[in-house]
Structures are given as structure tokens and as C-alpha cells.
Structure 1
Amino acid sequence: MAVASSAVGNVVRAVVAVLVAALVAVTAGLPMTAGNASAGRAAPKPSVKQLKKELAALSKESDRLIEEYYNSRRAQQQAEKTEKSARERLAAAQEVYDRESLQLRTLAVAQYIGGEPNQIALFTGSQNPDVLLSRLALSRHLIDVQDARLRGYAKVRDERRKAEQEAAARAEELGAAVADLEGRKKKAEKLIEKIKDRIDKLYTAPGVRRPDGTWVPQLPDGSENITPRMRLVKTLIKERFVVPFGIGCYRTIQDGGEHPLGRACDFMLSHGGAMPSAAEVKRGYEIADWAIKNSRRLGIMYIIYRQRIWHARTGTWRTMSNRGGTTANHFDHPHISVY
């Protein structure tokens, strides 16, 4: 009975401990999970000063990586040059090798027909000493020619083998240089992306945000006739992306959209309604993805790109009806509207 009483007491104490931990978690504003039952308050968010300090350190590291990247590019170019030279030498040696092999085979066939290996055919059919001497001299000449060709063949064969090995070594070195270069490039790109994300997080859209996450509309101002929120989004995109075909924002045409209200901008990917290049289409997707990623913090209401619209209310893309043209269907630019 004492054992049973002790077991019950242990269970009761365990339940009490869990309830106390839950109370502490609620008091601290933390969700109740097994992992954080005894955890303290979350660490405070970093200040702008701390973020700028971290950005400076990341920028320094990025500069170092970019320098290493260009050093790797130079090493790659040198490896490419060396490998090309080795391939050219190999091709030249192969040509000589093939020619010498053909001549050697021709000589071997001729001597086989003539009675190799003892040159019997040269000394039969005549007893004249002068003829025999002439044939002996011819035999000696053929042997010398054969020896010379054999030596030449051996040299060419060795040169070919050496060039082939060198070409293989240079190709391996080139492959290693390219792999190293790609690794450094990707590392630098990730770090630069991290730096850009940190910069983005230093900015929050101006104005008042409602409890449901939407924002109180603003009036346009300044020479561009756009709202402060739209101006911030435009500025950040210009700093982060190259937009070589221009950015169009305010216009007076009342089309039911946000342009006349100063709450929308078009980030052009081509001129004159032309279909943009593959690289520009990719840039458009990158701008749209960035806008979605930062939509809540920057007060972005919706994005239109390539006949599709993304709205902050739903957080999903949907297809739009055909409006009859490249620009009207937003194939040549992403459109961004803010609250």
C-alpha cells in the first residue's frame, strides 16, 4: 500500500510541475510546448545599430569572397589556356603518329613481300658480284631507313603519350578550378543575399497598420506624386535590382487602379511593348518574389506579373483574364501596389 501511495504522489507532483510550467509559459507569452516549458523569455530583437554593425562585418566578408572569386577566375582562365595548348600539341602529335604508323606499315608490307626478315629476295636470281654489291647496298639502305623510321615512330609515340597525359592532367586541373570557382561564387552570392535581406529589414513601411494587417492609405507627395510607402518600395527595388528599362509610377489615367493614387509602380523589363528576354523575365520573377517576401512589412497590397495576380489577403497567385497585349497582360513588367 505504501508503494502505491508513493507512486500516486509521484504522479501528482509531476502533474503539478507541468501545470506550473504552463503557467510560467503563459505569463511569459510563450506557446506551451514540452521543449519550452522551462525556457525563459525570447531574446530581444537586434537594434538598428546592431544590424548595421553586422552588415558591415558581412560586407567585409563579402568583399573578401569576391576577391577570391576573381582570383579563381584568373586561375580558371590560365588552366583553360594550358589545357588548350596541351590539346593542340596532342592533335599535332596524333597527326604525325598516324602518318608515321602508315609509312611503317607500308614498309613492313613491302619487306614482307620481298622476303623479310633475311632479305632473301635481294640475293637470289644473280651471281654477278656487282649486282650482289648493289643489292647489299640497297639492303643496308633499307635497314637504315627502317631503323630511322622505327626511331622516329618511337619518338612520336612517346611525344603523343606525353601530350595525351598532359592534356588529361590539364583537363582535370581545369575541372577542379571550375568546381572551386562555382563553390566560391555560390558562397559569395548567398552572403550578398544575406546582406541585402539585412538591409531590407532595416526598413518598415511608414504609416499606420490596422489589426488585420492592412494599412491606412496615404496621400501622394513629392515631385513623383507617389505615397511614402510606394516610394520606399521603389527605392529598395532600385537598390537591390537593376531596372534598365525604367520604372513608371504615377499617371493621371483613371483606370480603376492605384497608379492615379500614387500607390503603384511598374518595373519595366523591355521597351515598346516587346516581349522581354529570358534574363529579364527571370529578373521580373525575382522582383515579384522579393515583393511577396517583404509584403507584410512594407505594406504591399498586390503584385501583377505575366497575367497573374498575387494578393496579400490570400497569399496566392491566380490567373487573370486576357487584356489583349504584352503590356496590358503585364508580360513585360511586374506591377506592385501598396496599401
Structure 2
Amino acid sequence: MTRKGRTRALARRAALVGTVTLLVGIGLAPAAVAAPNPTPSPPREGGKNELIDEAIERTSRAFVEAKNAVTDSRKKQDALNKEMARLEVRRAALAPQAAEIARHNYMNGRIGPALMLLNSRDENEFLDKAETLEMLSAYDNERLAELADNQRQAAAAKAQLDLETKRESAQLAVMAKQKSDVEKAFKLAGGRTVNGNAYVNQPVARQSPRASDGSFPAQSCSVDDPTTNGCITPRTLFALKETQRLGFKRFVSCHRDGGPFEHPKGRACDFSVFKTNDFGSGDAQGDARFYGNNLAAFLVKNADKLGILYVIWYRQVWLPSTGTWKSYSGAHGDPSSDHTNHVHLSLL
């Protein structure tokens, strides 16, 4: 390129720079500006081992399912005991009548009614006596049939009660095993029981829908997540709405593509403890720590109603299988991994 050509190129470049500068100055240039309210990045979560993904989820789910089965079995046992008591009252009323019928038939046999008919003065009296005997016989037969049906129902109720008792015992054994398994897992992982959050004055949530047998059936990620552009389960949505309805309205993020826990399945939410619409940049202190303590305590208190799998908050995890808070530390030692800036909730 000649000297004159280089001079013209430099002049065009200077003119272009001047034009861009002018456009930026008046706000017309397509400058790369961050969105005014960017979506906060979800907290980075992850354990030192596979304790959360395997032991906690597996044992907690099995424990809750067994506990629901025990509750359902006890309800059925209570109903069966009431039915057996009702049948016994009726049996007690029918038994003397049956005994009297038996005694009368034994004493009179077939001859008594026949003699009564033969002693009739005329045809009309004969017919009246015959009708009376027929009515008495029908009444006696009804009482005897009712007593027999009563005894069959009582036997069936007793058999069903025995089955429910065995079912309860089996599910209690499952609960004990799951509790033992998770205790062993925590011990191997270096966990220990710690002082948890109090339940004092925490509000009571409404009951999340259950199946007819009292269980929480599996649900798919089928409803829109109001906190992200993803999906969550109906049970997660119910828990989220109940939590917010009862006063915990700070920033929340539920669905997440990939990563550990139940977020990708739509069965988990992270509740920020800060007043800003993000997860903060450090460990919660003061008002934020107080908010997190209350939220964690609320979730634990209402675990049965909401179908909670586990709760993690401030280096502690609570599971229904143990009923206590256990120490928990993330892999990275930061506020998100240690859950010191948000409360993690996982649901069945």
C-alpha cells in the first residue's frame, strides 16, 4: 500500500471511531449492556461424596413410604376394631334370641306346632294359627341368619386385622432399617448429630394431596415452575405456594438442568435467605440467618404435610428417617455448597 493509500485508510478509521463515539453518546449504538435484572445463578451444590444422592434419598424415601404405610395400617386397624366392637354388640343381642329359638325347637320339636293347628276350633282359627306359625318361623330364621352373617363378618374383620397388624410390623422394621442405614452412612462420612432448629411458633401448612392409602405417589415434572423457565412437580408447587403463603417470600429458584439433588426432576427448591433477589455472596448473618433458621424449622415441622424428603441449611441436613439435624459440608467449602446462603428443600 502506498503512503497516500495508508493515509486514506487511517482517515476512514478515525471517522468510523468518531461516528461510533457519537452514537454511544446519544444512546443509539448497540452496546453490549447487561440486563437490568439478570436471573441469579443457582447456588453451586454438591457433597464430598455420594451421600446425598444415594444414602439420603434412598433411605429417606423408603422411610417415608414405610411411615405412610404404618399410618394407613393403623387407621385401618382402628376402623376394623370399631367394626368388630359393633358386631360384638349385635352378636350379644342376637345370641339370647338364638338360644331361645334352639330351646323352643328342642322342647316342642315338630309335634308342638302340629298339635296347635289340630286344636283349632274351625277353619278360620286354623288359618290364623298357620299364618302366625309361619311369621314366627320366618322371624326365627331371620335372627338365625343374621347371627350367622354377624359371625362371618366378625371372622373376616379379625383376619383383616391380623393382616394389618403384620403389615404394620413389617413397615416398622423397614423404618428401623432405613434409620440404621442412614446413621451408618453419616458416621462413615464423618457426620454427627448437632443441635437443630426449634419448632416454636412455626405455622402449620395445609396437607399436600395424598393417595387414598395415605402415600405420596411419584410425580413427574409436569407443571410450570414459577421461579424459572423449567418445570416442577405438582407436589413441589404446592410446597412452594404454602411456604410463600405462610410468610417466606424471599427469592426462590427451583428447577435446574443437570447437577445433583432433585432439581432436574422438579422436586427441589433453593430458598435464598437474603432480601435481595439473589443468593448473596457470603454466609448468612443477622436477619438472614434468623430467616433461614425459621424457614428450616417450618419445613421440618411440616415435613409430613408437605411430603419432604430432606432439608439442608447451614452445614446441617435434616431427614425424616432420623428426625434430627446432622452435620453436612459441601465439597467446595463455599456458602452455596455449605448451604449457608440458602435453604435447600427436596420433596418426594
Shorter-chain TM-score above 0.5: no
Structure label with greater radius of gyration: 1
Give the TM-score range, shorter chain. 0.3 to 0.5
Q: Which has the higher contact order (CA 8 A, sep 6+)?
A: 2
Q: Which has the higher helix share?
A: 1
TM-score (normalised: structure 1) = 0.39
